[in-house]
């Protein structure tokens, strides 16, 4: 059995820790192992922590967080040897680490499979970082390695900035999907299997800031869920959507894949909110997510 | 109890009193130097004449080494150059790959446990026309025992087939630039860079915490120091967990331990906040023989490993720029907090861009926390140019230049890594001193052998192994070299009030020499014979090791 590892990269302050916490909140029974370089500014929200050791923190729902310090390979071996083993490892690389180098080192380990590389970019900072004499080339190398680039903190930076930042990222990120996240709100699967989120190119050149946007829609009040789901499915830019909405019949799960949509009663209480993944470029809706497993 | 030693010559490094013949010692400290009649006033004394035909210098200081040098001697040495073991056995250099294999075979035959791994060290194929050593080469030594040879640079590991098998790498489909493959699609046995070395090195017997050193290694390190005339040596990168600190305190406190150890806390693996807190907690655990509380920050990689950060025009062979081992933000945090708290920082920068980052970060940090006497040290600082040295001087920084590097890898730097012009300015001791930068020079043992007099010879002559003189203008004089390995080094360690010269009030630390380094001249500096040392008044003859 191989253990999938997602490499989470991005320069200091890009929001890796926020994303990790959001992923833990969505884990939903999946046993995630989070590996961080060090516990410095305690990376995990306090309410998720069940017990703390020197380099291992036990988290709610069977998840763990461990620091790997200067021996990533040994720490990975320990994670893989846990009983029961984690379902997935999210490896938070240090701000100056090169994720491609980490991925190729992981490739040397038996029973470890790299699920992909997610690189975070702070909308307000990324252009400055790319232009920085010292770290610009490091950030470029991080972006080049990405399967998915997550634009973070766009709400702070503002929409105008977001477009420019995305263009700057797209100039280096090749085929990677570019998605937006605010407060780490992203579907967990996107982070767990970034390599499967490869975007199909249909004759369009790279580097024009086309990509994916992930937003969370929170319809207020009790709504007609069928009408809501159909409207999403009919939008040419929407690729996928999933979440909870409130109806007169109680909480429902809405799921949209392309033109297909589906409704069912929610088995548990959950906050209202639908994650919507859409194309930034509605003129060219041919780009879509490759199905999982492709 | 006062002992007065007379010597053929005492080189004091105290300019007011540069040369003399007698030194009076009480309780491990120096009472004074001068003619016997000047010292008799201290009271009853014993005149010890055993150094009557020797030359005394201040105990030499190795300001950048690793205690690991001592641990490595448990393994087979297969370097190109002759190298003295701690026990005084001159190990002949292996001049061909065939000699390497023969030496390994001989050592292998002596290992009784058939499964025990066999580590060896200091291979350097650049001296064998860069022939690539393969697993099949090492399979000639054994196909059943895992074998690994660390290269002299520390950046490459060669292993045999058995080692690859144990590490799960004896397969096709390995896709890593640090793992070259043979025609059969299987790894050749060469592992380049720490990322690929670490998963395999435990299988060949290289302990993960080798950097931390063990008791035997420490004892051997002490012997090497006596052989080199060294009485104070640094251990430049240690994680210093409690058990290591306990071991160091124990061993260095022994009456027969000959070396004062200055061990630095390595930045890697913990947060900057924890690093500062750990250094603060370590400092009060210092003893007379063990100094703690300093920090080593590794900023970039190595030049020959192409992982150093270079400014324009980059690597001579077009390799992409190297790696940062710390973010500029974390570096700034550490420098600022260390200035505020009086913690001494040593930054490893090999490439000139890494040096520039430290210069700029330090400029800003000093504006926040002005500090007239911080003496932070740029370690290696190999590619700094004159403008950088001017800045370094203005900021109150010191440098510890890697003079030995020139000899061992200067030819490679000239041909491959940085090209002729910048190879000539590497480790620019002359420029550093002209620009007024406080300077030490070092071996980085075990990367190159521990031996400050040899290091001084390297800085004076700037010769490469092939005999090329690299950087005529950056040669220094013998006097400057002797200063760099005594008082200059002491200054960079904030220890110049205690050691580095032979004068009243300082520790009675002497290098006892058979030859006079001032007389023997620049060409002969490396050949000065060491009789032994005096450390804190205790006498350590090489002959008794």
Secondary structure (DSSP) of B359-383: HHHHHHHHHHS--TT---EEEE-TT
Q: What is the largest CA-CA distance in chain B?
A: 81
pLDDT recorded at residue A43: 66
Percent of chain B with pLDDT over 70: 99
Enumerate the domain spans of chain B.
72-204, 213-535
Q: Beta strand pairing status for A177-181 and B230-238?
A: unpaired
Of B199, B181, B198, residue with least CA distance to B190: B181
Enumerate the domain spans of chain A.
3-198, 217-279
Going by pLDDT thresholds of 50, 70 and 90, the confidence category of residue A28 is: confident
Minimal-distance CA residue of chain A relative to B195: A105
Of A58, A51, A63, A53, residue with least CA distance to A23: A63
pLDDT recorded at residue A203: 30
Contacts 24+ apart (CB under 8 A), B106-115: B107/B76, B108/B141, B108/B142, B108/B145, B108/B147, B111/B145, B114/B144, B114/B145, B115/B144, B115/B145
Concatenated DSSP letters of A30-68: --EEEEES--TT--S-GGGEEEE-SSEEEEGGG-EEEE-
pLDDT at A282 over 50: no
Going by pLDDT thresholds of 50, 70 and 90, the confidence category of residue A205 is: very low
Listed in sequence order, the DSSP H helices in B347-506 are: 352-368, 386-394, 403-412, 419-425, 429-434, 452-461, 478-484, 487-492
Out of A63-67, A288-292, B166-170, B387-391, least confident range = A288-292
pLDDT at A180 over 90: no
pLDDT recorded at residue B524: 97
pLDDT recorded at residue A294: 29
Chain B residues whose beta carbon lies within 8 Å of the beta carbon of residue A17 = none
Pair B193, B155: CB distance under 8 Å: yes
Question: Are the Cβ atoms of B270 and A104 closer than 8 angstroms?
Answer: no
What are the two backbone dihedrals, phi and then psi, of residue B496, each rounded to the nearest 5 degrees?
-70, -10
Concatenated DSSP letters of B301-347: --TTTT-S---TT--TT-PPP--BSS-HHHHHHHHHHHHHHT--EEE
Of B141, B159, B139, B163, residue with least CA distance to B150: B159
Q: What is the largest CA-CA distance in chain A?
A: 58
pLDDT at A292 over 70: no
pLDDT recorded at residue A202: 30
Distance of CA B457 to the CA centre of its chain: 15
Half-sphere exposure of A292 (CA within 13 A, CB side): 9
Taking only residues 185 to 204 of chain B, the set having a beta carbon closer than 8 angstroms to any beta carbon of chain A reads 195-196, 198-199
pLDDT recorded at residue B133: 93
pTM above 0.90, yes or no: no
Chain A residues whose beta carbon lies within 8 Å of the beta carbon of residue B179 = 108
pLDDT recorded at residue A40: 65
The strand pairing partners of B538, in sequence order, are B535
As a whole number of angstroms, the distance between CA B337 and CA B464 comes to 40
The tens place of each residue's pLDDT in chain B, 545 residues long, gives: 999 999 999 999 999 999 999 999 999 999 999 999 999 999 999 999 999 999 999 999 999 999 999 999 999 999 999 999 999 999 999 999 999 999 999 999 999 999 999 999 999 888 888 788 999 999 999 999 999 999 988 888 999 999 999 999 999 888 888 899 999 999 999 998 888 888 899 999 987 666 668 899 999 999 999 999 999 999 999 999 999 999 999 999 999 999 999 999 999 888 999 999 999 999 999 999 999 999 999 999 999 888 999 999 999 999 999 999 999 999 999 999 999 999 999 999 999 999 999 999 999 999 999 999 999 999 999 999 999 999 999 999 999 999 999 999 999 999 999 999 999 999 999 999 999 999 999 999 999 999 999 999 999 999 999 999 999 999 999 999 999 999 999 999 999 999 999 999 999 999 999 999 999 999 999 999 999 999 999 999 999 99
Minimal-distance CA residue of chain B relative to A73: B199
pLDDT recorded at residue B138: 97
pLDDT at A290 over 60: no
Distance of CA A278 to the CA centre of its chain: 15
CATH of range A3-198; options 3.40.50.300, 3.20.190.10, 3.40.50.1700, 3.40.50.880: 3.40.50.300
For the beta carbon of residue A19, count every other beta carbon within 10 angstroms: 24
Question: Are the Cβ atoms of A135 and B325 closer than 8 angstroms?
Answer: no
Give the tens place of pLDDT for each residue, B152-208: 888 889 999 999 999 999 998 888 888 999 999 999 999 988 888 888 999 999 876
Pair A148, A177: CB distance under 8 Å: yes
Question: Are the Cβ atoms of B357 and A39 closer than 8 angstroms?
Answer: no
pLDDT recorded at residue B340: 98
Q: Which residue has the higher pLDDT, B336 or A163?
A: B336
Which of the 8 DSSP states describes residue A186?
-
- To which residue do tokens 């790696």 refer? B323
Question: Are the Cβ atoms of A95 and B327 closer than 8 angstroms?
Answer: yes
Q: Which CATH class is domain B213-535?
A: alpha beta
CATH of range B72-204; options 3.10.310.70, 3.10.20.340, 3.10.530.10, 3.40.50.620: 3.10.310.70
Q: Which one of A69, A134, A136 makes the best mutation probe of the B interface by having the most chain B beta carbons within 10 Å? A: A134
Pair A2, A42: CB distance under 8 Å: no
Distance from CA of B174 to the nearest CA of A (A): 7
pLDDT recorded at residue B252: 98
Nearest residue, CB atoms, A40 vs list B274, B324, B328: B274
Question: Are the Cβ atoms of A69 and B268 closer than 8 angstroms?
Answer: yes
The dihedral through the CA atoms of B444, B449, B451, B454 has a sign that is negative
Of A114, A140, A115, residue with least CA distance to A129: A140
For the beta carbon of residue B49, count every other beta carbon within 10 angstroms: 11
* Structure token pair of residue B301: 């990689």
The dihedral through the CA atoms of A106, A108, A113, A118 has a sign that is positive
pLDDT at A214 over 70: no
Q: What Cα–Cα distance (Å) separates residue A172 from each residue in A139, A143, B1, B20?
A: 9, 6, 74, 68
The strand pairing partners of A118, in sequence order, are A8, A148
* Structure token pair of residue A266: 């929610």
Q: Tell me what the pLDDT averaged over chain A comes to.
A: 81
pLDDT recorded at residue B438: 98
Taking only residues 289 to 318 of chain B, the set having a beta carbon closer than 8 angstroms to any beta carbon of chain A reads 309
The strand pairing partners of A148, in sequence order, are A118, A177
- A209: preceding bond cis by omega (within 30 degrees): no
As a whole number of angstroms, the distance between CA B253 and CA B212 comes to 18
Most confident of A102-106, A151-155, A229-233, B343-347: B343-347
What average pLDDT score do residues A13-30 get? 88
pLDDT at A286 over 60: no
pLDDT at A38 over 90: no
Question: B174 in contact with A at a CB cutoff of 8 Å?
Answer: yes
The dihedral through the CA atoms of A163, A168, A169, A170 has a sign that is positive
Half-sphere exposure of B207 (CA within 13 A, CB side): 12
Question: Are the Cβ atoms of B208 and A71 closer than 8 angstroms?
Answer: yes
As a whole number of angstroms, the distance between CA A213 and CA A200 comes to 16
Q: Which residue has the higher pLDDT, A208 or A41?
A: A41
């Amino acid at each position: 059995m191989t253990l999938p590892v997602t490499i989470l990269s991005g320069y200091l302050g890009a929001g890796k820790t926020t994303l990790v916490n959001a992923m833990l909140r969505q884990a939903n029974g999946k046993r995630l192992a989070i590996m961080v370089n060090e516990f410095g500014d305690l990376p995990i929200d306090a309410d998720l922590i069940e017990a703390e050791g020197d380099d291992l923190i036990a988290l709610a729902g069977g998840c763990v967080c461990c620091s790997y310090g200067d021996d990533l390979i040994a720490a990975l071996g320990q994670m893989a040897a846990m009983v029961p083993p984690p379902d997935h490892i999210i490896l938070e690389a240090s701000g100056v680490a090169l994720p491609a180098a980490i991925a190729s080192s992981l490739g040397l380990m038996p029973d470890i499979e790299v699920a992909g590389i997610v690189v975070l970019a702070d909308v307000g900072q990324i252009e400055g970082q790319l232009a920085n004499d010292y770290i610009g080339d490091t950030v470029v190398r991080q972006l080049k390695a990405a399967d998915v680039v997550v634009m973070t903190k766009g709400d702070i930076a503002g929409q105008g900035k977001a477009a420019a930042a995305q263009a700057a990222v797209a100039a280096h990120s090749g085929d990677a999907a570019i998605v937006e996240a605010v407060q780490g709100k992203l579907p967990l699967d996107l982070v767990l299997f970034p390599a499967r989120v490869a975007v199909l190119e249909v004759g369009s050149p790279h580097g024009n800031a086309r990509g994916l946007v992930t937003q969370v829609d929170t319809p207020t009040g009790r709504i007609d869920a069928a009408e809501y789901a159909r409207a999403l499915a009919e939008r040419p830019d929407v690729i996928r959507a999933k979440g909870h909405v409130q109806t007169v019949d109680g909480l429902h799960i809405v799921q949209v894949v392309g033109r297909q949509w589906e409704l069912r009663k929610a088995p548990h209480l959950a906050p209202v909110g639908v994650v919507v993944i859409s194309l930034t470029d509605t003129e060219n809706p041919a780009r879509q997510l490759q199905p999982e497993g492709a | 109890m006062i002992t007065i030693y007379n010597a053929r010559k005492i080189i004091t490094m105290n300019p007011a009193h540069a040369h003399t013949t007698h030194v009076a010692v009480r309780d491990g400290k120096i009472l004074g130097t001068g003619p016997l009649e000047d010292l008799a006033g201290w009271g009853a004394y014993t005149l010890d004449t055993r150094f009557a035909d020797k030359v005394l210098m201040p105990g030499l200081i190795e300001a950048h080494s690793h205690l690991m040098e001592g641990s490595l001697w448990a393994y087979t040495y297969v370097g190109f150059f002759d190298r003295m073991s701690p026990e005084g056995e001159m190990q002949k250099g292996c001049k061909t790959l065939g000699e390497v294999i023969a030496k390994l075979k001989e050592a292998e035959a002596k290992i009784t446990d058939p499964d025990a791994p066999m580590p060896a060290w200091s291979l350097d194929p650049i001296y064998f026309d860069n022939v690539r050593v393969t697993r099949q080469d090492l399979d000639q030594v054994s196909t059943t025992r895992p074998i690994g040879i660390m290269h002299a640079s520390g950046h490459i590991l060669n292993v045999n087939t058995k080692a690859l098998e144990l590490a799960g790498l004896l397969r096709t489909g390995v896709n890593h630039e640090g793992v070259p493959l043979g025609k059969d699609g299987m790894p050749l046995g060469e592992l380049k860079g720490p990322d690929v070395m670490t998963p395999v090195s435990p299988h060949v017997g290289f302990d993960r915490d080798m950097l931390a050193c063990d008791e035997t290694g420490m004892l051997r390190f002490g012997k090497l120091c006596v052989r080199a005339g060294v009485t104070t040596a640094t251990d430049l990168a240690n994680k210093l967990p409690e058990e290591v600190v306990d071991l160091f305190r124990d061993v260095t406190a022994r009456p027969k331990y000959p070396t004062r150890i200055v061990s630095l806390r390595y930045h890697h693996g913990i947060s900057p906040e924890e690093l500062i807190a750990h250094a603060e907690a370590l400092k009060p655990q210092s003893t007379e023989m063990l100094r703690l509380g300093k920090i080593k920050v590794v900023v970039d990689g190595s030049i020959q490993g192409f992982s150093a950060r270079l400014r324009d025009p980059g690597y001579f062979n077009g390799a992409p720029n190297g790696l940062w081992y710390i973010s500029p933000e974390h570096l700034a945090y550490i420098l600022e907090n260390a200035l505020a708290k009086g913690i001494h920082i040593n930054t490893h920068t090999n490439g000139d861009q890494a040096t520039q980052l430290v210069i700029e970060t330090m400029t800003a940090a000093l504006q926040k926390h002005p500090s007239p006497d911080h003496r932070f040290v740029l370690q290696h600082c190999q590619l700094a140019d004159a403008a950088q040295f001017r800045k370094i001087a203005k900021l109150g920084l010191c440098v510890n230049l890697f003079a030995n590097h020139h000899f061992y890898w200067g030819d490679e730097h000239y041909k491959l890594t940085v090209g002729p012009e910048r190879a000539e300015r590497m480790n620019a001791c002359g420029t550093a001193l002209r620009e007024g930068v406080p300077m030490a020079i070092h071996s980085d043992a075990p990367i190159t052998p521990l031996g400050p007099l040899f290091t001084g010879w390297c800085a004076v002559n700037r010769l490469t192994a092939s005999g090329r003189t690299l950087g005529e203008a950056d040669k220094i004089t013998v006097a400057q070299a002797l200063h760099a390995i005594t008082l200059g080094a002491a200054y960079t360690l904030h220890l110049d009030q205690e050691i580095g010269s032979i004068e009243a009030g300082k520790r009675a630390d002497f290098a006892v020499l058979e030859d006079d380094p001032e007389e023997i001249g620049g060409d002969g500096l490396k050949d000065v014979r060491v009789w032994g040392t005096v450390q804190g008044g205790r006498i350590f003859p090489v002959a008794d090791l």
